[in-house]
Copies of this chain bind each other. A is one copy, B any other.
Amino acid sequence: MKFALQINEGPYQHQASDTAYCFAKALLEQGHAIFRVFFYHDGVNNATRFTTPPQDDRHIVNRWAALAEQYELDLVVCVAAAQRRGVVDEGEATRHKKDATNIHPRFRISGLGQLVEAAIQADRLVVFGD
């Protein structure tokens, strides 16, 4: 079965991203597929490569990136939500005259249409938030 996941909260502050990750891992291990993981609202903050949690804690960003690498997941960050919160890739940095980027290379920024499309294409949309 094909899943789409939506994550509404940033890393560490709320459990949403942790629960979504454990859920994603479990479904992939069962042989199901993930059409897309869509990061919305503060969820866009899961996509920064600048995160450095304490050494004895999980690295939420790298963990998503590794799972995406292993299963070729599509990790999409909402562009409008990202602009409000300061998550930028090369294109955004150029467009808005920022001197650097902070997005992790395993994530990509795109429009809200990607969430709607995921909801249409997937058999199940599962939302994690506050």
Number of chain A residues close to chain B: CB under 8 A:
31
A-B pairs with lowest CB-CB distance, top 7: A50-B86, A100-B100, A48-B86, A51-B86, A52-B96, A12-B84, A52-B83
A13 interface residue per 8 A CB criterion: yes
Residues 81 to 96 of chain A near chain B (Cβ within 8 Å): 83-88, 92-93, 96
Q: Is A49 within 8 A of B84, CB to CB?
A: no
- Residues of B within 8 Å of A13, CB to CB, are 41-42, 85
Q: A124 vs B81: C-alpha distance in the bound complex, in angstroms?
A: 34
Task: Give the most central of A53, A61, A86, A93: most B CB within 10 Å.
Answer: A86
Nearest CB of chain B from residue A112's CB, rounded to whole Å: 14
